[in-house]
Structure 1
Amino acid sequence: VRERAGLFDVSHMGEVDIIGNDAYAYMQKMVTNDVTSMTPGRCRYAVMCYDNGGAVDDVLIYKFADDHYMLIVNAGNTDKDFAWLSEHAFGDVQVINNSAKWGQLALQGPLHQAVLDAAGFEGEIPQKYYTFNDKMTVAGIPCLISRTGYTGEDGVELYCAAEDTVRLFEALLEAGKGVDMLPCGLGARDTLRFEASMPLYGHEMSADINPVECGLGFAIKLNKPDFIGKEALLKPQTRKRIGLKLVGKGIARPDADVLCNGEKVGIVTSGGPAPAVGGNYAMALVSADADENGTWAVSVRGRVIDCEFAPMPFYKRK
């Protein structure tokens, strides 16, 4: 994915449609980001919060029309998110869980365009990040293609009817042979998002970790009218997400204690090797006043491993 291209089946992700004349007002209430400037064919990243600011989930919003949005939600949260969205529906708003109808493939890496070229497509591939075209065909299969991904690399995500997913996957796999593309699993996807310091629900954010603490300020518009959780997010935060590079041998696993100047200041949320940059890294949630210039370490099963403060993202595409 970093040098060529990789193909992921991410059909486990959930898709929830928001339809109706009040869809815009409803979206403004439900998510942290502002959807006002979105035009049809645009995507936007956002978070849904509880009243206490904790994250219900992080979502990708697709706008089809003023009265039609689609939310991409994390697989393990689909039922919870659908219930949350349904519970808060008002006016002319329909919340429809269409997850079973969609297949979703992520084609990621600098050579993704060569794979699409070899597969054959009709329509215009979105060139701008966070845009989509829902009137595409790839290898003769109707698709929605968006210029999005969860790898820190350039690429696209393709949505097709669930029954077409295997056919599309096989067509792309065949088309990718010319650039040595490989099929990739969720372990590779996790390493890629970790290198790019992208948060994962249940690790960097959760019902107990709000998006401000998680460092997602770019996706939170506190100057827009009221949204669920806004009041809590306006308060001073007591924790922050940081990056660490392990200097000593070992791997920092989630929930390992993080020490600054010998004192426990937080816990690891994700940890592991970052092959694209070399070395072992960790993301951690620590006290907001922890000294970034201090002496850092993680405690793994009683063994203290020295670390150094590492700016995020650990990997940035050239």
Structure 2
Amino acid sequence: MKEIALKHKHEALNAKMVPFAGYNMPVSYEGVNIEHENVRKNLGVFDVSHMGEFLITGKNALALIQKVCSNDASKLVDGKAQYSCFPNEDGGIVDDLIIYRINEEKYLLVVNASNIEKDWNWIAQHNTMDATTRDISDDYSLLAIQGPKAAEAMQSLTDIDLANMKFYTFEVAGFAGVENVIISATGYTGSGGFEIYFKNEDAEQVWDAVMKAGADYGIKPIGLAARDTLRLEMGYCLYGNDIDDNTSPIEAGLGWITKFTKDFVNSEALLKEKEEGARRKLIAFELDERGIPRHGYDIVDENGKIIGVVTSGTMSPSLDKGIGMGYIPTVMAKNNEKIFIQIRKKAIPASLVKLPFYKGE
């Protein structure tokens, strides 16, 4: 089990620590609903240092990224980030990731913790153009400072104008007295904020400064459980649940990050799927009655026939109702047919809805 640099800080805050993707991680502190609400109304800080970071450098860095990624990274300029995925050879997804363009010959790829080794091997396998690659995952920590008060609360820690940073842009600057910190206007909560990348040896200094700067704004440490409910309210896909090696970006609703203006791994087959239409589709639903849909529950039709499966589900803290996502036949989704979620022995009716579930205050 790997340990993150700030483990002792979380333990001192009485965090519930659990094994997650090979790391010992804080899953909750005060409780999911309290933490969730604080991010929506104030701000919270997540330690997500388990995420993987790869540096791709050299004159062929972009060529490698273009080959393994579905999105068109040639559209990036310095200081811009892009959501993308690694398609596999079989129509599925190796992982989803964020690409940061630091300069013309230097990119940072941020990948999911559970896929670090798999992703590294996948990139190496396709690196026929001799781009320089470096796995820096074990050297860096990552804090996600999320919520409507994040910019105001953190402004005292940097000279960067946080309030005017556009979504999916970043700067490399001083933060909390530490130089060369990546300050990124990204996050997986839908409530705004930043993701801060820095070296492990600076972790304690950054954490203490963030908590102190946020004290007057109601900052709280937030665990992975609330991270999951926040991302689900936005309808953001979670690797291992909503997308995996057997789900295509087309059926997962990720056509917008799948650009056929270039050749990439399995692009021909994915273009065919897009043109012909995927046979199933990732849909969003809300329960019409009380109940909590969970990952792995069956989705059934009015006759009780299994038509799909719930990939993510929870009781939404913001909406106070059961929400979820799952795959059903595309034709049923198009016709907006009635679906039911099999919760133990009862089939609970559910309505298909447009994402995000959470529309803001």
Q: Same fold (TM over 0.5)?
A: yes
Question: Matched residue of 2:41: which SS?
Answer: coil
Report the aligned-residue RMSD.
Answer: 1.4
- 1:228 aligns with 265
Alpha-carbon separation, structure 1, partners of 2:360 and 2:250: 25
- 2:285 aligns with 244
What residue identity is the alignment partner of 1:177?
Answer: A
1:274 aligned residue (303, 316, 322): 316
Residue 202 of structure 2 corresponds to residue 164 of structure 1: yes
Residue-by-residue CA offset, 1:89-140 (whole Å, 9 max, x unaligned) = 122301210101111000001100122124x323443611111001x22221
2:307 aligned residue (265, 269, 276): 265
Answer whether contact 1:108 1:154 (CA < 8 A) is retained.
yes
- 1:104 aligns with 142
Runs of 4+ in structure 1 displaced over 6 angstroms?
A: none
Cα 1:171–1:177, aligned 2, differ >3 Å: closer, same or farther?
same
- 1:296 aligns with 339
What residue identity is the alignment partner of 1:121?
Answer: T
Question: Matched residue of 1:95: which SS?
Answer: strand
Residue-by-residue CA offset, 1:42-68 (whole Å, 9 max, x unaligned) = 100001011112000000000012211
- 2:186 aligns with 148
- 2:356 aligns with 313
Q: 1:63-212 to 2 correspondence within 5 Å?
A: 63-118=101-156, 120-125=157-162, 127-134=165-172, 136-142=173-179, 143-212=181-250
Alpha-carbon separation, structure 2, partners of 1:225 and 1:311: 30
Alpha-carbon separation, structure 1, partners of 2:160 and 2:293: 45
Residue-by-residue CA offset, 1:251-289 (whole Å, 9 max, x unaligned) = 111111112333322100000011112211111111111
Q: By percentage of residues, which structure has more helix?
A: 2
Residue-by-residue CA offset, 1:205-250 (whole Å, 9 max, x unaligned) = 000111111111111112x221002122122311101111112222
- The percentage of aligned residue pairs carrying the same residue is 36
Question: Matched residue of 2:229: which SS?
Answer: helix
Alpha-carbon separation, structure 1, partners of 2:217 and 2:161: 22
Question: Matched residue of 2:94: which SS?
Answer: strand
Higher mean C-alpha displacement, 160-169 vs 77-86? 160-169
Structure 1 residue 19: Cα displacement: 1.1
What residue identity is the alignment partner of 1:167?
Answer: Q
What residue identity is the alignment partner of 2:121?
Answer: A
Answer whether contact 2:90 2:266 (CA < 8 A) is retained.
yes
Q: 1:45-60 to 2 correspondence within 5 Å?
A: 45-60=83-98
What residue identity is the alignment partner of 2:268?
Answer: E
TM-score relative to the length of structure 2: 0.84
Alpha-carbon separation, structure 2, partners of 1:124 and 1:163: 26
Alpha-carbon separation, structure 1, partners of 2:211 and 2:234: 25
Answer whether contact 1:152 1:316 (CA < 8 A) is retained.
no
Alpha-carbon separation, structure 1, partners of 2:250 and 2:208: 41
Alpha-carbon separation, structure 1, partners of 2:136 and 2:222: 25
Alpha-carbon separation, structure 1, partners of 2:56 and 2:345: 49
Answer whether contact 2:55 2:136 (CA < 8 A) is retained.
yes
Structure 1 residue 188: Cα displacement: 0.7
Alpha-carbon separation, structure 2, partners of 1:316 and 1:220: 25
What residue identity is the alignment partner of 2:290?
Answer: K
Alpha-carbon separation, structure 2, partners of 1:141 and 1:316: 36
Question: Matched residue of 1:266: which SS?
Answer: strand
Structure 1 residue 302: Cα displacement: 2.9
Question: Matched residue of 1:312: which SS?
Answer: coil
Structure 1 residue 75: Cα displacement: 0.4
Answer whether contact 1:247 1:308 (CA < 8 A) is retained.
yes
Question: Matched residue of 1:78: which SS?
Answer: helix
Residue-by-residue CA offset, 1:22-43 (whole Å, 9 max, x unaligned) = 1111111110000112111110
Between the two proteins, the alignment pairs up a number of residues equal to 315
Residue-by-residue CA offset, 1:136-194 (whole Å, 9 max, x unaligned) = 22221221101100111111110111111122112111111101111100001000000
Residue-by-residue CA offset, 1:64-92 (whole Å, 9 max, x unaligned) = 12211110000010111011111111223
Structure 2: segments with no counterpart, 5+ residues: 1-38
